Amino acid sequence: MEQRYIKLSNGIDIPIIGFGTYKLENENNQACEVVKQAINEGYRHIDTAAFYNNEQGIGKGIRECNVPREEIFLTTKVWIDDDGYEKTLKAFDKSLEKLGLDYIDLYLVHWPTENIKDTWKAIEELYRKKKVRAIGVCNFNAKQLSKLIEFAEINPMVNQVELHPNRTEKDLLKMCKRHNIAVEAWSPIMRGAIQSSDTIKNLAEKYNKSEAQIVLRWHLQNNVIAIPKTSKLDRIRENIDIFDFELDKEDMEKIDSLNKDERIKPQKYEELYIVD
């Protein structure tokens, strides 16, 4: 399967389609087997987090697959309970140990937290020591990101946020572009709910593609990295098979116009780091 990459601000290439792993479990070797299938079908970018409690399985899948480690781009994240300098360094070591790997490609702060200054210092140190190839954050709004850029010695290379047709985040995308921060979309296909949109259904018919493929192609044409999750082989194939067609400008705008600035569900972690 074809691959497309985006260059991060430090020159590292990240595959524009990644594989989400939230809800995959270590039990019954699920995470391991599904990740191996994804890699086998052409994915080269895997997204996990300490919070998902599946790093063992994900790491095992990466170690057991037939693709060299350096061809796979792996992300994990520090959870809010490990907010702070020492805690973040320890959490990183724990993640590496669970994964059974000796470096991470991208290490992200999972939510903007109270002690973000100290947490970010630890993240910068991991980057300087070359334990991670790139660093970034998740779920930072424009104000939180501006504040981080003020005190950071190294700017984040990525901001991973909830982004899909109901929440298009156009202003945040513009801001990130100005600061050369790549944007990743989590819940890129709205956990499957895109299938109930008539607009997307009509586009799927027009292009002879599935609803998921239409929305993933919309992300790609917006230069947004998408990390759809599935545990099913046919969907693993479907979600990366988006490189052989192009949405025209009018259809891109039709999807843009679905924006309601709405989350799939309320997020209780949003207010941990208040910036006036």
Binding site for ligand NAP (CB under 6 A): 20-22, 47, 110, 138-139, 160, 186-192, 195, 210, 212, 227-232, 235, 238-239
**Distance between CA 77 and CA 53 in Å, rounded?**
11
Closest CB 23 distance from ligand NAP, rounded Å: 7
Structure tokens at 158: 């990525």
Closest CB 98 distance from ligand NAP, rounded Å: 16
DSSP alpha helix (H) spans, 157-265: 170-178, 198-207, 211-221, 233-240, 249-256
Residue with smaller CB distance to ligand NAP, 123 or 128: 123
**Distance between CA 180 and CA 117 in Å, rounded?**
21
User: What are φ and ψ of residue 275, in 5° steps?
Assistant: -125, 125
Closest CB 260 distance from ligand NAP, rounded Å: 16
Amino acid at 188: P
The overall longest dimension of the chain from CA atoms, in Å, is 53
Residue with smaller CB distance to ligand NAP, 128 or 256: 256
**Distance between CA 166 and CA 190 in Å, rounded?**
8
Cβ 216 vs Cβ 228: under 8 Å: yes
Residue with smaller CB distance to ligand NAP, 22 or 243: 22
Closest CB 91 distance from ligand NAP, rounded Å: 15
Residue with smaller CB distance to ligand NAP, 84 or 228: 228
- Transcribe 120-165 into DSSP letters: HHHHHHHHHTTSEEEEEEES--HHHHHHHHHH-SS--SEEEEE-BT
SS3 content of the chain, % helix, strand, coil (to 5): 45, 15, 40
Cite the active site residues.
52
Amino acid at 207: Y
Closest CB 21 distance from ligand NAP, rounded Å: 5
Residue with smaller CB distance to ligand NAP, 115 or 139: 139
Cβ 222 vs Cβ 164: under 8 Å: no
